[in-house]
A = this chain, B = another copy of it.
Amino acid sequence: MENTESRLYFASDYMEGAHPAIMKKLMETNLEKTVGYGQDPYTEGAKEKIRKACNAPEAEVFLLVGGTQTNATVIDALLKSYQGVVAADTGHIATHESGAIEFGGHKVLTVPQKDGKISAQQIEKLVKDFYDDANYEHMVMPGMVYISQPTEYGTLYSREELAALSKVCRENHLPLYVDGARLAYALASPENDVTLTDLAELSDVFYIGGTKCGALFGEAVVIPQKGRIPHFFTIIKQHGALLAKGRIAGIQFGELFTDGLYLRIGKPAMEAAEQIKDALKKYGYQLSLDTPTNQIFCIVSNEVMKKIAQDVEFGFWEKYDETHSVIRFATSWATTMEDTQKLIQILEKNK
């Protein structure tokens, strides 16, 4: 747990506290008295701002605490007991949520990813194959589709891809749910063409990530069509996901959606990522995937990995072969130019 001054941190995007504007507002309002459970004016205000940012005046918005919790709560709310959720085999719900979806009684029906993404064609085929199977009544029915924007690999769905997915989902009565844990980094990417308004139009439920995008914690679930999930408040409570001091989330999302902060907050991460990717290419490193957001995946020899690790915290992603590994550098809203330059120097040194 080194915490020395000289060490560089590019291991993840949840290593700092919150954006200064959030901290300031939390301080200012600290001793005000408000009712609990998200009925307070700060939460109401945040919800209204989110509705506006999404161009979804009828949307219901709920503020939860963390990503796994949000995924489990939304998926349990959308599925019937005999249905499963379709996801990429690299989807967060399929891999790193300790079985939270199965804990709720549902199977994750995985399909192979490409660059972390799944396609409308895959969904269409999966549904067709399911109903073509003579034994389909003995199988888990696909009941909804889960995707992440950006994906777990840092890639992006284009508006066209998302629209195609949405179409096939709606034709097959499969709610489409978008996990936006890192949504700010999608919105800040020059390559992105999917807006909050698009998400509200094309998905049935999505969430706007706070934890990895500048908040202390918090994820804002947006249900564009009012009444789509009856009694969601109680479902949240049943999942242990209801915050007593709801306003602490309300204030944070209120700030994130003041003056378009959420649309800007990912920019420094993008700039740092661009520079790091340029340096990696320049110094002859091999990117395992050319990602347009704040996660950079790079194949290095185990020797080089060890050297870099002397100065930098990064994520070990997976073994590539006996002598190479895939490592991940993640930038964030709080990444400084100074740290980025230092990282680039270290990369140069170890090239």
The yes or no answer to A245 lying at the interface (CB within 8 A) is yes
Chain A contacts with B in 204-233, Cβ cutoff 8 A: 211-212, 216-217, 230-231, 233
Q: Is A140 an interface residue (CB 8 A)?
A: yes
Those of A232-282 within 8 Å (CB) of chain B? 233-235, 237-245, 248
Contact B237 A137 (CB under 8 A): yes
Interface pair B234/A138, CB less than 8 Å apart = yes
- A185 to chain B: closest CB distance in Å? 15
A252 to chain B, nearest CB (A): 10
A65 within 8 A of B: yes
Binding stretch for chain B, among A32-40, A112-120, A292-300: A32-40
Q: Is the CB of A140 within 8 A of B102?
A: yes
Determine whether the beta carbon of B102 is less than 8 Å from that of A102: yes
Asked if A56 is at the interface of the complex by the 8 Å CB criterion, the answer is no
CB interface residues, A 1-24, toward B, < 8 Å: 1, 3, 9, 11-12, 14-18, 20, 23
Contact A73 B240 (CB under 8 A): yes
Residues of B close to A100: CB separation below 8 A: 237-240
Q: Do B35 and A242 have beta carbons less than 8 Å apart? A: no
A23 to B22, CA, bound (A): 12
**B1→A40 contact, CB < 8 A:** yes
Instruction: Answer whether A41 and B105 are a contact pair too, CB < 8 Å, given A29-B17, A245-B17.
Output: no
What are 12 of the A-B contact pairs (CB < 8 Å)? A11-B35, A16-B31, A16-B33, A18-B30, A26-B216, A67-B244, A77-B81, A81-B238, A82-B238, A98-B238, A99-B107, A103-B105
Q: Which of A3, A15, A212, A231 gathers the greatest number of chain B CB atoms within 10 Å?
A: A15
| Contacting pair B20 A30 (CB below 8 A) | yes
Contact with B along A78-103 (1 / 0, CB 8 A): 00111010000000000111111011
Decide: A16 near B30, CB < 8 A? Known: A82-B234, A241-B240: yes
In the complex, chain B residues whose CB is within 8 Å of the CB of A139: 95-96, 98
Give Cα distance in the complex from A32 to B230, angstroms: 41
Task: Point out the residue from B35, B67, B231 that lies within 8 Å of A82, measured CB to CB.
Answer: B231
Residues of B within 8 A of A244 (CB): 14, 66-67, 211-212, 217
Residues of chain A whose beta carbon lies under 8 Å from any beta carbon of chain B: 1, 3, 9, 11-12, 14-18, 20, 23, 26-27, 29-36, 39-41, 44, 65-73, 76-77, 80-82, 84, 95-100, 102-108, 132, 134-135, 137-141, 211-212, 216-217, 230-231, 233-235, 237-245, 248, 313, 316, 319, 334
Beta-carbon nearest neighbor of A335 in chain B: B33
Given A34-B15, A138-B234, A231-B82 in contact, is the A102-B106 Cβ separation under 8 Å? Answer: yes
Question: Cβ of A235: which chain B residues have Cβ within 8 Å of it?
Answer: 81-82, 98
Shortest A207–chain B CB gap in Å is 13
Answer whether A140 and B99 are a contact pair too, CB < 8 Å, given A15-B34, A82-B235, A82-B238.
yes
**How many angstroms between the C-alpha atoms of A12 and B36 in the bound complex?**
9
Q: Are A3 and B141 in contact (CB under 8 A)?
A: no
Contact of A98 among B3, B138, B230 (CB under 8 A): B138
Closest beta carbon of chain B to A333's beta carbon, Å = 11
With contact pairs A31-B17, A240-B239 given, residues A216 and B245 touching in the complex (Cβ less than 8 Å): yes
Residue in B30, B68, B137, B237 whose beta carbon sits within 8 Å of that of A233 in the complex: B137
Smallest Cβ distance from A236 to chain B, in angstroms?
A: 8
